[in-house]
Chain A
Amino acid sequence: MARWFLRGLRRGVVTTRYPHRPDPEAARVPTPPAFDPARLTGALADQLVAVCPSGALERRGDTLVLDVGACTACQRCLPVAGAAGRPSGVFECAATDRDRLRVAIPIRGQHR
Chain B
Amino acid sequence: MTRLLTPSPSDPAVAPTADQLRAQVGRLFGRSLYIRTVDTGSCAACESEIRLLAAPHYDLHRLGFFFTPAPRHADLLMVTGPGTTGMAHALRATHAAMPDPKVVVAVGACALGGVYRQADDLTHGGVTGLLPVDVLIPGCPPSPLALLQGLLVAVGRLAERIEPARFRIEGAEAP
Contacts and interface: CB of A to CB of B under 8 A. Distances in A.
Given A19-B158, A56-B114, A32 B169 contact: no
B14 interface: no
Given A26-B145, A70-B112, A101-B138, A34 B167 contact: yes
Contacts of B148: 18-19
B142 to A, nearest CB: 8
B158 to A, nearest CB: 6
Interface in A5-58: 8, 13, 15-16, 18-19, 23, 25-26, 29, 32-39, 54-56
A70 B113 contact: yes
Given A1-B62, A96-B134, A96-B135, A69 B112 contact: yes
A93 B137 CA distance: 6
B3 interface: no
Which of the four size classes fits the interface of chain B? 35 or more
Interface string A69-112: 11111100000000111101011111110101101111001000
A44 B170 CA distance: 18
B94 to A, nearest CB: 21
B136 A29 contact: no
Contacts of A34: 166-169
Contacts of A38: 172, 174-175
Contact of B149 (A35, A94, A100): A94
Contacts of B133: 98
Counting chain A residues whose Cβ lies within 8 A of the other chain, the interface size class is 35 or more
B109 A69 contact: yes
Contacts of B12: none
Nearest to B128: A98
Contacts of B175: 38-39, 83, 109
A10 to B, nearest CB: 14
Contacts of B113: 69-70, 98
Contacts of B56: 8, 13, 15
Interface string B111-139: 01111010000000000100001111111
A98 B136 CA distance: 7
Interface of B: 18, 22, 56-59, 61-62, 109, 112-115, 117, 128, 133-140, 142-143, 145-146, 148-150, 152-154, 158, 160-162, 164, 166-170, 172, 174-175
